[in-house]
Amino acid sequence: MSDIIAYKVNDVIIDTQSYSGNGGEPIYFDNSKQALEVIRHSCAHLMAEAITKLYKDAKFFVGPAIEDGFYYDFRVTKENGEKLGESDLADIEKKMKELAEAKIDIIKICSTKKEVTQKFKNDDLKMEVLKRIPDGEVSIYSQGSFEDICRGPHVPNTKYLRFFKLTRVAGAYLGGDENKEMLTRIYGVAFADRNSLNEHIKMLEEAKKRDHRKLGVEMKLFTFDEQIGAGLPIWLPNGARMRSKLEKQLFSAHRNRGYEPVRGPEILKADAWKISGHYTNYKENMYFTNIEEQEYGIKPMNCVGHIKVYQNEIRSYRDLPLKFFEYGVVHRHEKSGVMHGLFRVREFTQDDAHIFCMPSQIKENVLEILSFVDNIMKIFGFEYEMEISTKPTKAIGDDKVWEIATKALKDALDEHNFKYGIDEGGGAFYGPKIDIKITDALKRKWQCGTVQVDFNLPQRFELAYIDQNNEKQQPVMIHRAILGSFERFIGILIEHCAGELPFFMAPQQVVIIPISENHENYAKEIQNKLQNTDIDSEIYNKNESLNKRIRTAEKARVPMILVIGDNEVENKTVALRDRRARTQSNISLDEFLKLTKEKLDEVHF
């Protein structure tokens, strides 16, 4: 059996040094979630010790384990004055391996905050750490010549830290505060065995090939520009076409399910955000401005606008449920250090909807939404799981209302035997939610869609409907997004399919390559016929070799490539290269047009 590296006592993971010997559950040296958390946290300290061996003046802030690895934030300057870069990782890894092979004990030392403050009084980064620690006992972990303030837990010895890889260097503001200095951050991964590490490294290498930022450039989908601003994507013609196709399919799907399109303003008076609770609970994520001495907030969500649509008329119980949807453009204040391609931006568009219903209709509407989710995820080939997120620390509304809303979500899932996890404290500030987490081709999980049951905003805005007894009642508001945001979902989809987008939303679905000028009229005839059936195509007739034009189309990941020569012109055929099916064939033009129509028709949202 594997060695014990920690224990779980009363739902808290502690190291072997802190274990009293009474009760608890042993955590073995393996690749379980709990074991990896301990291994990766310890590996962060191993990396820090290696850095101190190589760079004597290095000072350290924090180095936690994270979901897929670990990192450490620190300040360091190389002897030549340059910053640490990717080329330095190999030297740090080499030193880490030496320290792991030395089998150094990791020792926990408990002290008071006052004593620890005195010990590190000349280290400004340690002082920053201590500011975040309450008075009382403070623990220090040491290994060899390295020691740091840390609550642990850690493995007993560096011998358990042999299978790791440093993955990248980044910058990180001290404590995430943009007004403070930028520290160096190194990320890494660690496992309990070599095979798991090697598999993860292969996944990382594949992820680099699939990086949506790289493919977005190659496919001419989107760009970012410093003059415009960070986190503000610019959609190029290819990308805008792709988005419009996705939006069109979703629009029809919403209408078929009884949703009505609405449109709210992108800027609202601050008074509205005060009523909703955003001003108190979400202000740091919003942008505000003043117009004629009146404060306004740019919307980070669409819910207030949809509430105003609801309030535009007197509503009856016979009207419910009312379903409003909008491709709502929202803005959120993301810190520069966390923005990443389309995954984390400051402006994005949600496939947002709000359902106003009676409490008795919650279950049926949640289940209808989950059916909608299931249908869309199957179209894109995503597996997914669900998680109920409960009341966070920063929330509005009383506990009773939260209990009712949370139970409504659980009942809907339980009744149909849906599997789900619980994320304690992960709900929105106004209500609990179901988060939809999809798994991509590289087995990475992404949170996209969400379903939120909200009693609070209807109460705050005094929403009402007239019931069977001609009395006013308060409706329930269900917030719902399936893709989450177009930007994030498209980024995930690009990486999931390595740029080989589904035919129906490919920005350029067909490329026509006439071998010579003699074949261009036939190429234009094909293009016109495709245009009439809503198929986007382009004629590659540059003065380049045939092979180069084919390679250009391949690099752009165009699903279908048609090569047109004498034989095709004479017989009204096309030489088809189908990238998705990985086939080549020569078929009649009518057969090809029928094939493309069938490919469009097979997608039903």
Q: Which one is catalytic: 243, 331, 433, 549?
A: 433
Query: What is the rounded CA–CA span in Å between residue 20 and residue 26?
Result: 12
User: Six-digit token pair at 421?
Assistant: 């996890």
Backbone φ, ψ for residue 604 (5° rounding): -130, 110
Residue 88 to residues 92, 182, 576, Cα–Cα distance (Å) = 7, 19, 48
How far, in Å, CA of 163 to CA of 186, rounded?
17
Residue at token pair 């209990």: 403
Query: Binding site annotation covers 479?
Result: yes
217: which 2 tokens? 């450039």
Residue 331 φ/ψ, nearest 5 degrees: -130, 135
Structure letter (DSSP) for residue 162:
-
Is residue 479 among the annotated active site residues?
yes
Alpha carbons within 13 A on the beta-carbon side of 170: 17
CA end-to-end span of the chain = 50
Catalytic residue among 332, 391, 519, 557: 332
C-alpha closest to that of 158 among 109, 197, 196, 101: 101
Pick the catalytic residue from 350, 361, 452, 527: 350
As given in the structure block, the two tokens for residue 547 are 């092979």
- The helix/strand/coil state of 194 is helix
Residues contacting residue 465 through CB under 8 Å, at least 6 positions apart: 315, 316, 317, 319, 320, 356, 358, 472, 473, 475
CA distances from 561 to 242, 305, 512, 540, 577 (A): 18, 45, 6, 10, 5
Q: Cα separations (Å) of 152 from 44, 105, 109, 136, 598?
A: 11, 14, 11, 16, 58
Catalytic (active site) residue 303? yes
Which of 241, 323, 479, 519 is catalytic? The answer is 479
Residue in 245, 254, 354, 519 annotated catalytic: 354
- Asked about 332 being catalytic, the answer comes back as yes
The closest of 66, 27, 70 to 45, measured between CA atoms, is 70
Q: Which of 300, 243, 338, 241 is nearest to 479 (CA)?
A: 300
Rounded distance between C-alpha atoms, residue 97 and residue 301, angstroms: 48
Contact 502, 379 (CB under 8 A): yes
Q: Are 135 and 113 in contact (CB under 8 A)?
A: yes
Cα distance between residue 279 and residue 299, in whole Å: 11
What is d(CA 100, CA 283) in angstroms, rounded to the nearest whole number? Answer: 46
Query: Which residues are the active-site residues?
Result: 303, 332, 350, 352, 354, 433, 479
Annotated binding site for Zn(2+): 303, 354, 479
